[in-house]
Each structure stands twice: as structure tokens, then as C-alpha cells.
Amino acid sequence: MNPKRKIKAKEIISDIRTGMAASELLEKYQFNAKNLRTIFQKLLEARAMSKDELNTHTSLHDGSTQGLRRHPRKPMVFPLKIYDGGDPFKSGTVKDVSEKGVCIEGIDATVGDVKNFIIRFGAFGDSSTMVFEGKCRWVDRHPMTGRVAFAGFEITYISSLDSGELRKLID
């Protein structure tokens, strides 16, 4: 059994802040994509770096690092309202979506929360609704207010019918 390697947080943070791409981090530290995702999550949880900073300095969304996500996310080019099924008066905006997850702006959450979400497509000349359950995997808080700015939810349950609506949204 291999013992876990110790990586100094200061060193990897320095590499990220000096502009090292995710692919270069993979090579330098001999990580696989799963290890790098875990490191990024630990940096976020420890508040050593913000999600924006990680995205900016590691080019997570460009084509050179598509291997970091199993399911590439599609950014929304139009505002798409999403409602918290537990309190339909609370709504947010979908920032990006994949087959397995969604990034939401404006809905308060804590890592581990499970929520039901509702998206109504009526604004697009379609009367369909998509409902799914999501588990909060990460939260990015606004540095000044401490309020949730963005939250990432893994889709933990979606019906086959709504899964078809999700695929249409991604396409």
C-alpha cells in the first residue's frame, strides 16, 4: 500500500497563482484528474482560495483541461430561473449545467444540503417543467458579505422524462 503523499498547500497555491494551468499541475505533481479535483475542493473548503481564483488561474473551463470533469459543463447563454422546491419563493439563476450537475447563483446552500429544484421552460414558448434533486457539493461565498454567491449541486435524482429535458437543455 502506498502512503499518501504530502503536498504543501503553499506550494500548490503559489503555482496556481503564478498562472500554472491545470494540465501543468497534473504533470508537476503527478496527479490524476480526480486527485486534482480533491485538492481544489480542499483549498475551497479551507478558504485558502476562492472558486473564481481557481477558475481564473487554472483555466478549468478551456479545452486544455476537459479531462478534469467527467461531464463537461455548458454555460448558460441566457438567464434560466431555477426555483428551490422547498420554498418556491426562493429562486436563483442557472450559470452552467451538465448531465450530472448544475451551478446555481442566488440560492443559499451548505455543502451536503439536499434540495429539490424546479425549472420552468415556459419563457421559451414551451410549457414543460423539469424537476430534480441535487446535493450541494461546493459553495463559493462572497468575500465581503459571506453570503453564498454560487453553489454547485450534483444531480442525485431525476426522472427519465426530466432527464430528456436536461439533455435538450445541454444540447
Instruction: Compare 164 and 72 and report the one with higher pLDDT.
Output: 164
What is the secondary structure of 37-97 as a DSSP string? HHHHHHHHHTTSS-HHHHHHHHTTTSGGGGGG-SS--EEEEEEEEEEETT-TT-EEEEEEE
Residue 66's pLDDT is what?
40
Residue 45's pLDDT is what?
85
Residue 156's pLDDT is what?
94
1 confidence band (pLDDT: 50, 70, 90): very low
- The proportion of the chain whose per-residue pLDDT surpasses 90, expressed as a percent, equals 21
Hey, what's the cell of 77?
Answer: 447563454
pTM, two decimal places: 0.59
Is 147 in contact with 108 (CB distance < 8 Å)? yes
Q: Which CATH architecture has domain 74-170?
A: Beta Barrel (2.40)
Residue 65's pLDDT is what?
39
Give the DSSP H/E element, type plus range, for residue 158.
Answer: strand 148-158
Residue 141's pLDDT is what?
78
Distance CA 78, CA 10 (A): 38
pLDDT tens digits for 73-109?
A: 788 888 889 999 888 789 999 998 988 999 999 898 8
pLDDT average, residue stretch 155-168: 90
Residue 86's pLDDT is what?
85
Q: What is the mean pLDDT of the chain?
A: 79
Strand partners, 153: 102, 136
Residue 59's pLDDT is what?
45
**What are the domain boundaries of the chain?**
9-68, 74-170
